[in-house]
A and B are shown apart, each in its own frame.
Chain A
Amino acid sequence: MKFLLVDDSRTMRNIQKRILAEIGTVEFVEAGDGIQALQVIGVTADGFQLILIDWNMPNMDGITLVNRIRTTDKKTPLVMVTTESEKSRIVEAIRAGVNNYILKPFTPEGMLEKIRLTLRIAA
Chain B
Amino acid sequence: MMLNPPPQPRISSKLIMPFVKSTMNVFTTMVKIKPNITAPYLKEDGHTTYDVSGIIGFSGGLLGSVIVSFQMETAHQLVNALVGAEVETNSPDFADAVGELANMIAGNAKKDLGLVTSIGVPSVVIGNCHIICRLTGVPCVVIPCHTSVGDFAVEVNIKPVA
Residues of A within 8 A of B (CB): 8-12, 14-15, 18, 56-58, 82-86, 104-107
**A106:B30 contact, CB within 8 angstroms:** yes
Q: Is the interface of B mostly helix, strand, loop or mixed?
A: helix
Stretch from B2-10, B44-52, B94-102, B144-152 contacting the other chain:
B94-102
**B108:A86 contact, CB within 8 angstroms:** no
Instruction: Give chain A residues whose Cβ lies under 8 Å from the Cβ of B99.
Output: 9, 11
Cβ-based interface call for B131 (8 A)? no
Give the residues from 14 to 32 in chain B that come closer than 8 angstroms, CB to CB, to chain A. 25-26, 29-30
Cβ-based interface call for B127 (8 A)? no
Given known A-B contacts A15-B83, A18-B84, A9 and B26 have beta carbons under 8 A apart: no
Instruction: Give chain B residues whose Cβ lies under 8 Å from the Cβ of A11.
Output: 79, 82-83, 93, 96-97, 99-100
Instruction: Give chain A residues whose Cβ lies under 8 Å from the Cβ of B97.
Output: 11
Instruction: Give chain B residues whose Cβ lies under 8 Å from the Cβ of A15.
Output: 30, 82-84
Number of B positions contacting A (CB below 8 A): 24
**B121:A56 contact, CB within 8 angstroms:** yes
Cβ-based interface call for B110 (8 A)? yes
Residues of B within 8 A of A (CB): 25-26, 29-30, 79, 82-85, 92-93, 96-97, 99-100, 103-104, 106-108, 110-111, 119, 121
Closest chain B residue, CB of each to CB of A58: B121
B103 CB contact (under 8 Å) in A10, A18, A58, A83: A83
**B107:A84 contact, CB within 8 angstroms:** yes
Measured in the bound complex, the distance between the Cα atoms of B48 and A31 in whole Å is 33
Measured in the bound complex, the distance between the Cα atoms of B106 and A83 in whole Å is 9
Can you list 25 contacts pairing A with B, beta carbon distance less than 8 Å? A9-B100, A9-B103, A10-B92, A10-B93, A10-B96, A11-B79, A11-B96, A11-B99, A11-B100, A14-B93, A15-B30, A15-B83, A18-B84, A56-B107, A56-B119, A83-B104, A83-B107, A83-B119, A84-B107, A85-B107, A104-B30, A105-B25, A105-B104, A105-B108, A106-B29
Instruction: Give chain B residues whose Cβ lies under 8 Å from the Cβ of A12.
Output: 100
Closest beta carbon of chain A to B23's beta carbon, Å: 11
Instruction: Give chain B residues whose Cβ lies under 8 Å from the Cβ of A82.
Output: 107
Closest beta carbon of chain B to A71's beta carbon, Å: 25
